Structure 1
């Protein structure tokens, strides 16, 4: 890690097990610059350096899904910061989390685990691996989860089955085939609105009279998020000579991830945007009293107060995706007394075909005390989108280590080309296109990376790195109408890394600046009630981000381990407005102690804390009629969350008790001001594991 001109963190399977939890984020939140984003129970969303991940990486392949991934299949997490055209050509410039799955082992072993507790914790797992003979090894992992959540009538259920087989035709050659069936379904969190009588300068408050656990969802068959996937991967690795090695990876996948997304809203707005400040003012309605457009006269009048009758509408979206991927890279290493040279050359191909049908749904108006769940009115499909993209990439990177690795120089180039079509077969005609047009899209772009690492002493490195990526546009209609064919990310980073305690502790300090052009955010007008008849396209913006991060991790003693981080991030739109769900200041720490001798041998305990500054409740865009940038309607308050566990291992058996949200802190996430999601309170769970 000292020789790389970027920030990379690897979280091992032991660390993931120590943390516990049911989400990828539960472990990743202890890494500097990562904080939670929207939709805590779906899509594995997280912010990295202020950029929201759109999809996770599994074994290096981009994997979109409505469902959070099951951690039972994960061997380790590789977290890289900044844009990287080789590791994450389709990722956000903030970085990526690559989930490396468990592979067959050549010694027999495994485990059975059962866990039970409050809120999203009831699950069982089984993992068995071993050799068949000297040439073949196998692994089978299964897990199932079925539980209720804290919010009324919410749930999560999932089933994972993943067998894999490794063939070793030669001592330095392995071919692993892995199949994964994953079926997960969870509630769509409809949330509750903010109180419209408060604005961004007031203390955060949810809608009075609405219980925090309130959920008007019509039922599991109408309001849910689901991901069902069948995935086959192949990985061939071979050391051909002492200098030359090859890696070949492929994937075939099909996924279905429908989404029944009901929302509810107020009968009156209860306030408005002040045209002079761009801020929301509760209880005030700003109107233009002038009839002369050149001389507006904005005056305030009392706003109609929201009643206790709410509208209840939704959108059902059915997504089917087909994915084909191929990655092939060759590594050539020369290592002598003068220089160590590492050359990587490779090629990647990715094919994506997604079909999306959506339609509106509606329920009768309701009050908090009387929520009718029938009848559900379903309208005809108003969207039938097709998106097909083929992406081709060639890349070359070179690293030179000089003077006993005291000086490391690196550089590389990646060239990406893509083509495809995108369109809505039910779209209306426009002056520029006929009805139902399928828009063609294509692009070609070269990106570059380079870096320098200086090690004045063996355990200290000072580095500078420049990295880029270019992500193909996902909406070719916007490209057809003049948008650039790529969203481009560029980062410059400087920092230092230090190994302490005989290499057991790694400390790093980094400062970075990132620029992104042509990125998209979900249009906030799609979450109004009622929503537009046809969902509006994403907003296309540009932004700049900068910040610094400090991280320390490792084992102080064989019994005591720690990970701690602090980050200060500024990531805003061109008007200087905060982006939804992205905290600009975070800090976290997790400490674990295990008794290895004496009467308490086998006993371990861990305590974690995670602090986040305030976060915007929504994405906004544009300006008032007076040219003042519009501000978010409110901010989620800063919060500190704590988790703890105590465990005991004796022989093949281990026992554990977890307490999440130890201090019973009330905290939130949000999709919009009218969709505030209340998180689980303090919860206790217990587990028993048998290893063999």
Structure 2
């Protein structure tokens, strides 16, 4: 169904039913701009995802916020464009370009799903999620460390919270047009203003088409993100946020390594089958928040979020590489759908007890999640193979047969409590706990077998901050996390959930004018019950693995002076498998470098005629990473490890404000056209980084 007609029919229904979806605290400040920003901030003072009024400098946790200014300076249109500029983030398997997937502090999630993500404080990681477009996004909050005490099932390395743009009470409008390398064409609209004395709207729309830089791999994307704010009374507000996104592209598993060597074939070569066409990812999200400030100063919030996702299409994927260069392939048909309904109720306020000031948060959450998964596949054999050195497309395509046909149902009820305590003028204590009761049922339609598990998890966290001066903070925190494992073992029993614990020790500094902030953090994370191969049956799994991550993070961001703003990061990360029945004990995890770092600097000034300009650039470095895990048998046999080489990339950014309302921009990515590889699932599925690309944009405000 076309997106625009669908949305026009759905918006009145959403407004009439007034689904109260919990988004963000209405007390947070709103950015008073539309379109691309200028002379904004890199350093943020608070994070909505932390669910506390404590400023970031006082919060006993490392939080990295990518502001709208940083997004615009990078020319970023999707989350993937900013990842290299956030310390401790490494790219993981992106499902052939159909979703975003990262590890934070070396801790990846389930390799068969995307990353753990929040959208305005609600889970946005369940289901099948297209690469997130940034047209309707105000900022991205990387919450380092466990978030289970607030959000439940998650990774101990960190969680990403995407915050959407909000309606403004002054009319403002912007249109943007972009063109560039590899057939890029993109248009965007950002419009906001009052509809009545107590009703305001915001509408973000983006349409994008790319021919793509890899052979036969283009993409199309459409996103519409409406938002409404209704001030029912002076103390009661209803907010609605929606997002409809469609993403279409060929499922592209990348290139292959020959004898552990990359570069044997061009980075542009497509090894699938062009005749398969595109795979379509559809995401529809609807949220609202009903908030009321009571006479006592406490705030009550009630919300409901509804998300549907789906992946539909056919692909051809690498199966086995012969010494001759002949690549056998598998053809797959996917028909995936999910439905996610979540309700939250919170009460937040301050009180004084025993001479101490408390900021309390009480919350209840309930979600219903259904996932319908149908995959058919067939091994094409020699008649469907392709020569990687001289590919010839167009062979007769084999018809996939039934392989996976499941229906998964998840139900979860959770209670959580958080208390931010001012122990003394220089001391803050943050304590929280969440109890989740999880009910999962999995029906295998092919066998008729249904399994069920009902784990209960308690996730505490505790943090302490010491503020020895108005600029410095020393802090420590500890927390636990969990994530249910899907599937069953060879005996039909459910897997125990993954559990994690994390320790963090750090220091924060903020300039006196609050325009620059820096964080240094040491962390130690352990995760247990990671699924690994059953030693008695290699086709089955057991929850017996353990991994560990230790590291040092350094982050700095802010406005250095009138002309310069800067964003920098450096991370040293040691991740290893500490227990496994099949993989190399002591080996590293896939795609996690020991070293990564970045630097972004932008200079702004004005010409003599008053026209403003900005210019700058960025450099990122990613160290060597493991490209395919080695088994213990391979280690004993002396099989060499497959590693992705380190890489350094540079980018160039600039703008010229021709008039106060008209601006021209230039973005050059991979300035020196370096050949590099961003992630790998195996030697046969290696994702190459984009070659040099140039984008020119024109933005007009009115």
Indicate if the aligned counterparts of 1:617 and 1:632 stay in contact, CA closer than 8 A.
Answer: no
Query: Structure 2 CA distance, aligned partners of 1:408 and 1:82?
Result: 18
Indicate if the aligned counterparts of 1:424 and 1:436 stay in contact, CA closer than 8 A.
Answer: yes
Structure 1 position 46 matched with structure 2 position 58: no
Shift of 1:334: 3.0
Structure whose alpha-carbon radius of gyration is higher: 1
Summarize the Cα distance change of 1:336–1:623 in structure 2 as closer, same or farther, 3 Å threshold: closer
Query: Structure 2 CA distance, aligned partners of 1:597 and 1:260?
Result: 54
Q: Deviations over 1:108-147 (max 9, x none)?
A: 1121001110147421111111111111111221111111
User: Number of matched residues?
Assistant: 624
Indicate if the aligned counterparts of 1:117 and 1:684 stay in contact, CA closer than 8 A.
Answer: yes
Indicate if the aligned counterparts of 1:67 and 1:186 stay in contact, CA closer than 8 A.
Answer: no
Query: Structure 1 CA distance, aligned partners of 2:88 and 2:204?
Result: 32
Structure 1 position 380 matched with structure 2 position 397: no
Does 637-646 or 597-606 show the bigger shift?
A: 597-606
Query: Structure 2 CA distance, aligned partners of 1:630 and 1:483?
Result: 32
Match of 2:414 in 1: 393
1:473 to 452, 466, 485: 485
1:11 to 66, 71, 77: 66
Indicate if the aligned counterparts of 1:67 and 1:226 stay in contact, CA closer than 8 A.
Answer: no
2:231 to 168, 173, 184: 168
Structure 1 position 543 matched with structure 2 position 547: yes
Alignment of 1:266-345 (within 5 A): 266=320, 268=322, 306-334=323-351, 339-345=356-362
Alignment of 1:46-85 (within 5 A): 46-52=102-108, 54-55=114-115, 56-63=117-124, 64-85=127-148
Match of 1:236 in 2: 290
Indicate if the aligned counterparts of 1:616 and 1:632 stay in contact, CA closer than 8 A.
Answer: no
Summarize the Cα distance change of 1:138–1:552 in structure 2 as closer, same or farther, 3 Å threshold: same
Secondary structure class of the residue paired with 1:213: coil
Indicate if the aligned counterparts of 1:422 and 1:438 stay in contact, CA closer than 8 A.
Answer: yes
Secondary structure class of the residue paired with 1:458: coil
Secondary structure class of the residue paired with 1:17: helix
Indicate if the aligned counterparts of 1:356 and 1:383 stay in contact, CA closer than 8 A.
Answer: yes
Indicate if the aligned counterparts of 2:107 and 2:549 stay in contact, CA closer than 8 A.
Answer: no
Structure 1 position 155 matched with structure 2 position 213: no
Match of 1:92 in 2: 155
Shift of 1:521: 7.8
Query: Structure 2 CA distance, aligned partners of 1:518 and 1:629?
Result: 27
Q: Deviations over 1:402-431 (max 9, x none)?
A: 332x011121211010112113221xxxxx
Match of 1:302 in 2: none
Does 657-666 or 53-62 show the bigger shift?
A: 53-62
Query: Structure 2 CA distance, aligned partners of 1:36 and 1:615?
Result: 11
Match of 1:181 in 2: 244
Summarize the Cα distance change of 1:520–1:688 in structure 2 as closer, same or farther, 3 Å threshold: farther
Summarize the Cα distance change of 1:364–1:514 in structure 2 as closer, same or farther, 3 Å threshold: same
Summarize the Cα distance change of 1:632–1:445 in structure 2 as closer, same or farther, 3 Å threshold: farther
Shift of 1:225: 4.2
Query: Structure 2 CA distance, aligned partners of 1:451 and 1:42?
Result: 37
Query: Structure 1 CA distance, aligned partners of 2:421 and 2:552?
Result: 27
Structure 1 position 613 matched with structure 2 position 630: no
Summarize the Cα distance change of 1:185–1:418 in structure 2 as closer, same or farther, 3 Å threshold: same
Secondary structure class of the residue paired with 1:149: strand
2:86 to 23, 27, 31: 31
Query: Structure 1 CA distance, aligned partners of 2:629 and 2:325?
Result: 27
Shift of 1:397: 1.1
Root mean square deviation, CA, Å: 2.5
Structure 1 position 125 matched with structure 2 position 188: yes
Query: Structure 2 CA distance, aligned partners of 1:261 and 1:616?
Result: 26
1:441 to 453, 456, 460: 453
2:632 to 598, 623, 631: 623
Report the TM-score, using the length of structure 1 for normalisation: 0.85
Does 388-397 or 467-476 show the bigger shift?
A: 467-476
Indicate if the aligned counterparts of 1:364 and 1:372 stay in contact, CA closer than 8 A.
Answer: no
Structure 1 position 504 matched with structure 2 position 515: yes
2:503 to 481, 486, 492: 492
Match of 1:298 in 2: none
Match of 1:680 in 2: 690
Structure 1 position 193 matched with structure 2 position 193: no
Does 50-59 or 146-155 show the bigger shift?
A: 50-59
Query: Structure 2 CA distance, aligned partners of 1:411 and 1:629?
Result: 50
Structure 1 alignment gaps of length 5 or more: 199-203, 269-305, 427-434, 524-531
Summarize the Cα distance change of 1:477–1:424 in structure 2 as closer, same or farther, 3 Å threshold: farther
Secondary structure class of the residue paired with 1:583: coil
Structure 2 alignment gaps of length 5 or more: 1-55, 579-584
Shift of 1:328: 1.5
Indicate if the aligned counterparts of 2:142 and 2:159 stay in contact, CA closer than 8 A.
Answer: yes
Query: Structure 1 CA distance, aligned partners of 2:371 and 2:518?
Result: 43
Query: Structure 2 CA distance, aligned partners of 1:688 and 1:320?
Result: 38
Alignment of 1:495-574 (within 5 A): 495-520=506-531, 541-574=545-578
Secondary structure class of the residue paired with 1:475: coil
Q: Deviations over 1:569-591 (max 9, x none)?
A: 11221211111111121111111
Does 595-604 or 147-156 show the bigger shift?
A: 595-604
Shift of 1:670: 1.7
Structure 1 position 418 matched with structure 2 position 422: no
